[in-house]
Chain A
């Protein structure tokens, strides 16, 4: 919890008082970029679940993952680009919510995630530059798009097509999606290991065994 004075925020049903202790978001989305196949199914699924009319459009997605070996995007050393833009679900108060002039952000009590109430949002776009990771997007019709973790069961994770294997020959094996929903602390603890020990597949194997991420395959 930050020591900064907090703004008054709204949940769907209940108001948070300024001194309410809003817990940090522990479960976040992560993508293993070197395993991603650039299929865009996560974006398609995201736009579909958020559209009651069945509008399917990657530009309506709340996450963006793209290999863009195009001239306009940054390139990795090996010549192929990769851009992943996933909401980090910052600690309280999240910068996007903090700058909102109409308090259109509320907290989903189930996931502790800041969500935009579209009926309150005036589309002033203050939150877009406020986001330190550039992951509040503007839809073609002006709607502000921010990841809401689908209330705890992200559709993108369910749809993620690529499932690298977590195994050595002969060992019990399993697979997990490249885009996954995991406990932030556990993820950090593995990522803080020395790079030579930190191969992502092995890391995910360990997390799967501890039950920190789930594998639906």
Chain B
């Protein structure tokens, strides 16, 4: 396995292609693993404590070896950077055809450093790269930018695919994401802000090159078998039609939604349900990013008759909302009409912003307003105009989205790094403590799902390397109450599936973080694994595919160690930044405020939080007191060099 890396220094305009050696794939698998390593290397030479919005930050894009090889498990690109909104490790994945086309254009990874003197876009075609003037794209929405670039570049030698930022990224709004192919967002962490700080409006690719597969016949055989296993699972056909929207019903039953800034955990009203979406809005075939056997994505076009509010948006067409788009609108902001939820998804995407940080910032203020903790005059001061801040009022909300993207008032200045930093700055400014109404986890990142009755999830929110998030160690065993999986991974013990006790919850996080790191490094989609058509163990069923594509022989146990190695590098990055046990925490509301509804009313995270965190550190082999890594464990993972760096900076646990 060999692939190419493009290094771009925007300050000097210098570009260089390098070959990534086979050994790098043996150590870091590919995709997010190699991305992490490239960023680690960058920050050995540059100040890791730099301002993430400065030219010293790095922006890494990468795809894994299985992406676009006919594996049928989707294609996910990954961006890695130091997060401007949370100030720690940041990365984010998205699909679309961009990551697929990057490979045909000749590169698997792109490292962007420096800052361009004026707005540019990076154009890559068949092994060549050039920086082009982007002044005509500056100020445009992500969709317009994508269309203009496609017009500009034409269809030769292939369709053009793009990675763009919207107005919010240009304005260095911390919660800005990067949009892949106009509709799929690398949302978390503020990648769009990093691109904006580099004056990089877009990356466009066209390619007619080939991907080399070690054993094509073997790969074809593997993928035919994988497809048969997927097809044989009847549940997949429910997922194909509605994607992650299926979670709406499930969460309503187990009380896992995030309602009105998490004052509740169930949606109100009957409209926002996946069955209603399928019945009224699902008019076109499912579509997928590329190379996917499931195709859970869909497109809608409103004719205005679907719901009471739809008439306002008649003619609007976009991608179908995902669960977290829905959770942030229908949950956090209590929008009860599907057309408005879809519109929320479209608008935030056009500006290029993370739904969750944005909705939690707005819902935080809505709650303050609802509880009369801030006056109309104070709201008007914040927004520079009278603002109603009513739950579910889409006009109101849309005005807030616009403010944030254009960074046009005090609200945007205070809250552009998400609800934690926003609440903190606002509390300081007002001289009153509003922190108990802010919902956030590690790094100040917000998350729009209830986690108080779900110990693995609360643990995820506290330990995820990129700040509060479920996609690093998603607690499936527990949320689906899968006793079979608990037995399989923990020697016949069923505790991991029991929500009422803390046992094996930290262990589940550690286990699943390794599996997720592996999947992300393959460059494929997480959902093929989550739907479990092939037995939940990605280290087993992707193992032959990895070997057919790269020629690297691995046992499933070795692959799990690869996953652990990747997770440990992310941890090491954060340790260098000074993160310790006390930073692995969640907000006051989740920690101490009891739930009032759902599966286990009266749940607070504090009951189990420390026990689960201790167990997580134990399974990771990290020090309980400081949360730092130990030298012996790092050396056992082949990370002696990383341990050395940590030791010199005092970020290694003492023996």
Contacts and interface: CB of A to CB of B under 8 A. Distances in A.
Interface stretch (B149-157, B368-376, B429-437, B477-485): B149-157
Given A44-B69, A80-B284, A60 B220 contact: no
Interface string B208-241: 1111111110011001100110011000010000
Contact of B159 (A34, A54, A57, A66): A66
A39 B292 contact: yes
B375 to A, nearest CB: 46
A181 to B, nearest CB: 15
Main secondary structure of the interface of A (DSSP, over half): loop
A199 interface: no
Contact of B301 (A36, A57, A79, A163): A79
A67 B211 CA distance: 22
Contact of B214 (A54, A73, A158): A54
A45 interface: yes
Contact of B216 (A35, A38, A40, A48): A48
B69 A56 contact: yes
A145 B114 CA distance: 44
B607 to A, nearest CB: 45
A60 B151 contact: no
B104 A58 contact: yes
| Most chain B CB within a 10 A radius of its CB, from A53, A54, A217 | A54
A3 interface: no
B413 to A, nearest CB: 37
Contact of B299 (A36, A47, A80): A80
Given A39-B295, A158-B224, A161-B295, A57 B208 contact: yes
B89 interface: no
A153 B155 CA distance: 31
A25 B219 CA distance: 30
Nearest to B157: A140
B392 interface: no
B94 to A, nearest CB: 16
Contacts of B214: 54
A165 B213 contact: no
Nearest to B292: A39
A68 B97 CA distance: 11
Contacts of A216: 228
Given A35-B285, A39-B288, A44-B68, A159 B155 contact: no
Interface residues of A, number: 43
A155 B227 CA distance: 13
Contact of B295 (A37, A53, A70): A37
Nearest to A164: B285
A183 B232 CA distance: 27
B74 to A, nearest CB: 9
Nearest to A33: B285
A34 B151 contact: no
A41 interface: yes
Contacts of B72: 39, 41, 159, 161
| Most chain B CB within a 10 A radius of its CB, from A40, A47, A53, A158 | A40
Contacts of A175: 231
Nearest to A34: B285
A194 interface: no
A41 to B, nearest CB: 6
Contacts of B292: 37, 39, 41, 161
B286 interface: yes
Interface string A149-169: 000000100110111010000
B158 interface: yes
Interface string A47-67: 111010111111110000011
A159 B209 CA distance: 22
Interface in B137-160: 147, 150-151, 154-155, 157-160
B287 interface: yes
Given A39-B293, A54-B212, A71 B151 contact: yes
A38 B288 CA distance: 6
Main secondary structure of the interface of B (DSSP, over half): loop
Contact of B70 (A34, A72, A159): A159
B219 A71 contact: no
B285 A36 contact: yes
B291 interface: yes
Contacts, number: 130
B237 A165 contact: yes
Nearest to B315: A79
A78 interface: yes
A20 to B, nearest CB: 35
Contacts of A68: 159
A77 B216 CA distance: 39
A185 to B, nearest CB: 27
B281 interface: no
Nearest to A35: B285
Contacts of A72: 150-151, 154-155
A41 B97 CA distance: 12
A66 B158 CA distance: 12
Nearest to B211: A56
Given A45-B70, A48-B70, A161-B227, A40 B100 contact: yes
A44 B291 contact: yes
A57 B104 contact: yes
Contacts of B209: 57, 140
Contacts of B223: 41, 45, 159
B434 to A, nearest CB: 44
A53 B212 contact: yes
Contacts of B19: none
Nearest to A82: B285
B231 to A, nearest CB: 4
Contacts of A55: 210-213
Contacts of A161: 72, 227, 288, 292-295
A60 B210 contact: yes
B208 A70 contact: no
A40 B285 CA distance: 15
B213 A159 contact: no
Contacts of B555: none
Contact of A39 (B150, B215, B291): B291
B178 interface: no
Nearest to A44: B70
Given A40-B291, A45-B70, A57-B209, A155 B284 contact: no
16 contacts: A36-B285, A37-B285, A39-B72, A39-B290, A41-B72, A45-B220, A55-B210, A56-B70, A57-B208, A60-B210, A71-B147, A71-B151, A155-B220, A161-B72, A162-B286, A217-B228
- The 10 A-B pairs of least Cβ separation, nearest first, read A37-B295, A57-B210, A54-B216, A55-B210, A140-B208, A44-B70, A54-B213, A161-B293, A217-B231, A56-B211
Interface of B: 68-70, 72, 97, 100, 104, 147, 150-151, 154-155, 157-160, 208-216, 219-220, 223-224, 227-228, 231-232, 237, 283-288, 290-295, 299, 301, 317
Given A48-B219, A72-B151, A159-B227, 20 more contacts: A35-B285, A36-B285, A39-B293, A41-B292, A41-B293, A44-B68, A45-B70, A45-B220, A49-B216, A56-B211, A56-B212, A58-B104, A58-B158, A59-B158, A66-B159, A159-B223, A161-B72, A161-B294, A162-B285, A163-B231
